[in-house]
Structure 1
């Protein structure tokens, strides 16, 4: 049972202390002090246990202001929140108390519900912040954890751009052997000793963290040199502290010249220098130089940039016009993607598209292109142009994505388009890899009304054998095939045969890559339907294509898409002040407008309308409960159910009434300002509310970071447990996949940890592309991943899912330098077991998959799992 939290009441009036004790003692343990001096004595004994202080200002011996000053300057007690009690009409006390560091204040005479509400809110906020703070530090060594070390280094480098820093990383040679021979407690003691030595040597001259089991990192102010003797002496100290012999710690130095390099890369380069001297006698430190990075390929730079490029909209849509051959009229377009990098300029799609197909990022990029294409079609419809279609590419990875159909139908609904407006291009070679699954998926899409095009027809070998089975509407002839065949006017039998075959199958034909008048005429003679190529137009930005569309349909009427409501000036953050008293609004605006763009409304309906337009720009709402049409209290209730305003702080106002204040706080207002009040009093409340809002946002960010794996963005073990606790029975049955990247340690040892991390990131992208957005993805350990797939009815389909992902991993070609495979263990879950129990079953299946299963994917079933275990034992 959880012990009661302790509250310290500091009040010289015995009656007031008794009243406060009566209000609080049902829920809290209460300590008392008659003045500030006595309160400090109590804190000297109970400072680690007191959760909150209720403080009177006017007291003998030591008043409240003096107490607050002492409290603020003592690090051991400065974090304890203080609520100051003030006279109801003494506004100066409130302002002074907040200026001295008080967290909040309550007015006398005491109102029980208000006091209980504020006490509970502030204690909860402090405890949550303290809990998140625990995630900052490594539990064994008390150094920064890896994630927070990275964060602190980034902050330090940004704060001091002119200072010179180095990254210093260490690695204990043969640490695993130490654990195996001497035991884990001895290994832990060694790690503690290394941490103590590092902390003592670095002190305040740098920032220290623990990266992994035996790897430490330090950001330090650059010294004049790194003599070997210094590190030899440090190594001796570690052996002495740990009471061991022959422990060898190697160090790597990365000189930070480019502060835009990620902290992860800085550490990895320092550790790469460590690996260069691994096993070398009497060599304890090495510096990174560019020769160690000569093997870095341009693909690494592209991969590092791709996520940010997508967020920053560096990828732009180009449209290749498609013309009807019988009259040379514009009939549609093909959407292509170009990458306009701010430093590199335009990048060739032939360079980045194959890489994205291998690492799985192509799914995100394709979805981006689809949505942008639909947005353009919708915009042209709104402008009154005749409706045309746009063709978009669908990659192999998209086909395997279980969310494909949901995503496509969702964006069509969003942009009010019919499926026939979006033509889906699937390359010929994709059909040959897994024809069963692809055909089934494409049939569903075609049934929904999408137009299916086979792209690059003529470039493969099995098309004619499969053509009759495939759900198609259009053939797109491969560019090279067209150029070769139309160059042979005396021998066009193959081209004529394809046209005849298309007519027999009721398929339209698009020829791409048409560059000459001669090619056009040959295609016209053979009965081709559509053409695209440089002869008509090169791929162009959407704006230029729109001009082409406008020119062809210049008599079409145009409609304006722009909203007639002018946007307010956004030089300042916006504050919405809702009050029917015009004089009050103008008086308050005078103070608030120093920092905010104040928008005043006088009724409840206007509040809701303004939020419909500007919710993403409003930073704070001051809402009068006296509002009408609808009433302010009803508006406050409505706002609590609107997602877009959930994070906007709200200060409720109204004439002093205990019931109103309690009701406003219970509904969800962040504060209540009783009238009458001065502009300065309201200004102080605004500042305090904004500060608490920022603290809550920081808390949420820290909580999110604590639940996420820093390298992949997937859930970590803590996050997986939290999400799985929220699973409901209607999510069942579930399938839990346990994936393991076999041989990853060898990748790290031979190619460097950055390459190992790259494989981990690539595999996380592959997981995202193969599972639904509603599924739960997590990384538990260096090379172990978990997927919880919801509503999985058939075991056979689950196994095929695991096998398909393993095959996609092989085809991605990431194991060319060092053999790397993926194994999968699967366990069905009806939520009657705990997460740990189902993880254990999946782990048993995983071990069996590694030994007794050719596809390296195994579903846990008691009979066959125990059978395979027996075979393992026999072997």
Structure 2
């Protein structure tokens, strides 16, 4: 229901006031005042809520004119519209009221329909004006919003065709870093300071607006020149106003010679000039010139041609060979793209690839490259050439494309290729951009059998902790890193460290950009696996690579090894095939081994033994229900209680029997394959089961994410209630701990939210270390934490646990200016009450703990245990 608008009636005559209230109250809420002074008191309390004022002119104490004068001089209330009541046909009163700032007038005696119509009309106009004002002005800085700035610039240029103008645009360097380190409020203050400087320096000579987070724009009358010193001084003023140091604002100038160019393009060109000087010391302003103009025209020409080029297959695949370093043997290739334009000739990828990444066309181009690469591999297979793998690039835009996995799998199916034939190269920097989403996507691809390479390793800033979480098979060392590191003395250990790290993580290493024999030998010494670069071969068309492939085969007298054969064999997920029929296992192993390491066992006990050895590696189990010692059904039942394979899908096999199938599915099998069946039939079931399992894992991850606190990784309130629903009686007795971080708000206010977050994270780590993995830990609010400790039989031990944790947190070396302690309320729980009831009890104990308990940890207990009233708290 929409709340009623509020109208203030200021009228000394009680009868008139009552009449106005009667007219207005069916549609509005009415406040009353007998004179202007009383009305000002009402406004002091309700100014943000009042939509309109109905004002009589002739009143005691303070008349209407005096009230209007005070109202219009107070910015906080001056925008409230006023309708003045005048005597009928008294034109002088009307003119005087309007000159004092009244919005409208109504004549006495009051006519209800006239009053209601004018009131509704003026309120509507005021609300529309407020909306327009929001549209026109940026809420934070008070400058024009982007849309209205564009409009005002167009009007200004049209109104003064003879005047010469320039467009200035600014950008704050590393603004995101300022927000991250100093906090959003500090970032906002910086933006306000920039706006203040702009308004002071430029508003008199032009029009100013805010384009985006840290980008400002100004249309100004052209000055004689732009001095670096002027902008350096302006930059210093911004630092002073924002109370910061080393903030750098860069400016770009676009000289407006053609006023038909859109305002958006003017701003884009000025910002292009800004980008040219980004990161350059002591240069604060640059102009858009012919060099930038030509670059922009060139980029536009490329953009205009790219769709047609793709349709006409102007983009061609080049392959750069990869060699095994221990014997210089050819093992694969990397697919690169070249653009052979019919008029321009061959175009450098360094020119068009970054542009395609910015405009989004890279996704279409990558998909084209993948398709052409797979078509080439298929053609080679049909011609009888040795099978090799080829690496293809996967850009950031591809990873965020929801159709990525479907397109890749569909392409491989189209050309009848296994996923291990296609290595997917993802740059190191892409992993650091949004690790959660990228890791989830790449993990799915790796599960499907694709080999994952981290490209340009050594060019970015991956932490070792993050690297350990990434789904990878190969590290591909950045070219510049190779050239720099191999030029250092041999006692420099960075390369050796990377090789050791790769061995520890079971990763292979490829070095690209190898150009000299010295670089090759240095890489050989440090244990690198594969190399590519001009020392061996430049990128070449596919037909030339075919010749190289066959030539290499003749020279060595060997078939070309597929580097993915070794890598994929080691990295393939494991499948456990349990069946007593040896011929069946041999037949099925042939197709299953294309994507899995297949472990075959022939009896029930061997299944359990294999799990003891390989449980962490097994990704699928195919289990015959005809097994003996123990029987297949019994093994299936045992698997349901093995935590380490709880999420591993199981396909049960056996003779076609509806009852047997129903029994297997009821016990927990994910699918049932009746015998006899063909290898392809089983393979289809395996693919379907894996796809369903991936979907289930995605759903599980989404549920877990929704139930987790972002900062600490502990359960949130929703997750706590969900987990508590699964508590069983054999978990009891339980102890429910309610912890509160005392003074956290003070820490946030005095030291900053980042410091507060550090303390929250530290406390969450202490929770994990002081309680068992099976106990339930959650964060309920900003400073409240819950732990449910299972099988907590001894109250003294429970109290000691709470005291020890509080003491451990107190002993952490924090900033002593704001001491931070922990209080705890504890309630014992036998599951006969609800979680909400137990939280009330723990909260009661927490209040006692905060009220002066020496160890700040208190236990709530039922009164009949203590014999002293309804509730008792033990300290």
TM over 0.5: no
Name the larger-Rg structure.
2
TM-score (norm 1): 0.36
Larger RCO: 1 or 2 (CA < 8 Å, sep 6+)? 1
